[in-house]
């Protein structure tokens, strides 16, 4: 198992945001996490990436307990992430943004890092924007930059936080191609997304959560057809047609 979540919990004061969530993820699998607004999806991602400390339970990455491991060390050990609201280094060029990932995240010298950066920029379609200040990029380009930077750290596990959010249908299609391409490289993916059809077209498995609890887990079909999922998304116990 590449990633193991065991009874992971997170509370902010009295507010229980994640409640004893467990699941395992094999290397090479793409996992989708679904759930309504405020279900705790981003919190779960932040816990895996090390941006927030756990309140209970444990997370193991490649067999090693991540408790007390900082975000930057998790990045170095192979966990890359993108952020729901892109966080570009606005005063740096597109190239320099990716260079940060390559030099720090993959521990390369500036010379060695160049090749990685060129590859990643080409893959994400940002090569023509090399010299452009990241603050001037459009939303889709910023989302691509999030991916490019994370890829430059050479992740084994890539965490995608609502990367398709706010994009037009056409843009979502473009991004889907890119994500499929990344998957084909053998990178394990955890993807949080509201846009169900986008998610379902890429991932192998889905975990559905609501109010911090795991509702269902399985293939996209199994989860979408489960009673618990229907209850949350459509407000009905189950729909039986005959």
Partner 1 sequence: MNRDRRLILILSIAFIFFASFAFWAGRGTMNTLTEFFYLLAIAQLWNLLAGYAGLVSVGQQAWIGLGAYALLVSTDDIGLPVYAGIVVAGLVAGVLAIPTALLGFRLRGGYFAIGTWVMAEVFRLSVTASSDWLGGGLGRSIIVNNLFSSPSARITSIYIVAIVLAFGTVALTQYLMRSKVGLGLTAIRDNEDAAASLGINTYRVKMIIFILCAVGTGMVGALIALNQINIIPKSMFSVNWTAFMVFIVVIGGIGTIEGPIIGTIIFFLIREYLSDFGEWSFIILGVIAVGMMLIAPQGVWGLIKERVDVEIFPVRRLISAERLKSLGRG
Residues near partner 1 (CB under 8 A) are 49, 51, 70-72, 75-76, 80-81, 83, 87-93, 95-96, 99-101, 103-107, 110, 118, 122, 127-128, 130-131, 149-150, 152-153
CB-nearer residue toward partner 1: 131 or 240 = 131
CB-nearer residue toward partner 1: 34 or 108 = 108
Q: Classify 173 as helix, strand or coil.
A: helix
Q: Classify 215 as helix, strand or coil.
A: strand
Report in angstroms how near the CB of residue 206 gets to partner 1 at its nearest. Answer: 24
Report in angstroms how near the CB of residue 88 gets to partner 1 at its nearest. Answer: 7
Tokens of 115: 């090749």
DSSP H or E segment with residue 205 = strand 205-210
Phi, psi of 85 (to 5 degrees): -95, 115
CB-nearer residue toward partner 1: 127 or 167 = 127
Report in angstroms how near the CB of residue 178 gets to partner 1 at its nearest. Answer: 17
Report in angstroms how near the CB of residue 79 gets to partner 1 at its nearest. Answer: 9
Tokens of 100: 């940060």
CB-nearer residue toward partner 1: 96 or 204 = 96
Report in angstroms how near the CB of residue 78 gets to partner 1 at its nearest. Answer: 10
CB-nearer residue toward partner 1: 40 or 105 = 105
Residues contacting 51, CB < 8 A, separation 6+:
71
Tokens of 138: 């459009």
Phi, psi of 103 (to 5 degrees): -75, -45
Q: Name the residue with tokens 């989860």.
A: 223
């Amino acid at each position: 198992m590449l990633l193991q979540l065991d009874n992971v919990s997170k509370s902010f004061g009295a507010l229980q945001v994640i409640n004893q969530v467990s699941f395992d993820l094999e290397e090479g699998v793409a996992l989708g996490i679904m759930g309504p607004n405020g279900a705790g999806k981003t919190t779960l991602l932040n816990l895996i990436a090390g941006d927030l400390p756990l309140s209970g339970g444990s997370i193991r990455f490649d067999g090693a307990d991540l408790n007390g491991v900082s975000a930057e060390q998790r990045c170095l050990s192979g966990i890359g992430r993108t952020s729901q609201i892109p966080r570009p280094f606005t005063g740096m060029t597109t190239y320099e943004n990716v260079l940060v990932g390559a030099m720090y995240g993959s521990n390369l010298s500036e010379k060695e890092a160049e090749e990685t950066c060129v590859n990643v920029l080409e893959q994400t379609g940002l090569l023509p924007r090399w010299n452009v200040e990241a603050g001037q990029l459009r939303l889709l380009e910023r989302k691509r930059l999030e991916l490019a930077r994370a890829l430059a750290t050479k992740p084994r596990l890539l965490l995608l936080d609502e990367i398709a959010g706010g994009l037009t249908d056409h843009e979502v299609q473009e991004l889907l191609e890119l994500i499929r391409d990344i998957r084909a490289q053998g990178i394990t993916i955890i993807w949080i997304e509201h846009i169900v059809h986008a998610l379902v077209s890429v991932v192998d498995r889905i975990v559905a959560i609501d109010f911090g609890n795991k509702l269902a887990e399985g293939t996209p079909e199994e989860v979408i057809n489960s009673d618990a999922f229907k209850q949350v998304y459509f407000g009905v116990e189950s729909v039986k047609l005959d």
